Amino acid sequence: MCRMTAYLGETEIQLSSLVLEPEHSLLVQSYAPKEMMSGVVNADGFGTGWYAPEVDEEPAVYRSVAPIWADRSFASIAPKVRSSTVFAAVRSATPGLLGATDSETIFALFLDRLRETKGSPGDSGALAEATAETILYVSVVCTNLGVHAALNIGVTDSRAMVFARYSTEGPGNSLYLVEGGEAFPNAVVAASERFDGDASWRQVPDRHLLVADAVGVASRPL
């Protein structure tokens, strides 16, 4: 089980303001999550990706196999890096379901489907369709194997982001959204758990797809 968050906004923010500083930030969720369905900590590494289009169209990525709370280097650079698109996750390792690791296999499936759509950057429809097709494919595979799958998938191309909350049986992993919240007034933020007590946070329903782009935010059932 993992915890993740993403920011898509009109203004740039410091990485630390999303990942480290909120009351119930991703850092806190790494050692004291409130809504994990299995496991008690996320201590098997973390990663943060962000876009700096003035330097390179490809995202910058910081990865570590150490717990986020033990990484002093990230803590020192996070307040000094700014971006308008940020994605971060902390990891709790689980046995792979479809290959060496389930996340790598699922991402490869997603990329195959995204190439087939031939969507351009910012094409939220293409991202959404590729995500939906990937989830439904994985769902069929898991059902045939008699394996329960609870999937929270998030993708972004710097101009749009898509999140999905899906489970083959019972309730899925928690996923929340805040649009124009108190801490992030000009942005959309998705997170596995709410960062604070802001009443603007709302839960994404199970088996739903969340799409955010320059037009706004929309969701639809899967």
Task: Report, as residue numbers or ranges, the catalytic residues.
Answer: 2
Place of tokens 């394996």: 147
CA distance linking residue 17 with residue 184, whole number of Å: 9
Long-range contacts of 146-155 (CB under 8 A, 24+ apart): 147/97, 149/97, 150/37, 151/106, 152/2, 152/4, 152/192, 153/106, 153/110, 154/4, 154/6, 154/87, 154/190, 155/110, 155/127, 155/130, 155/131
CA distances from 58 to 1, 7, 52 (A): 27, 17, 8
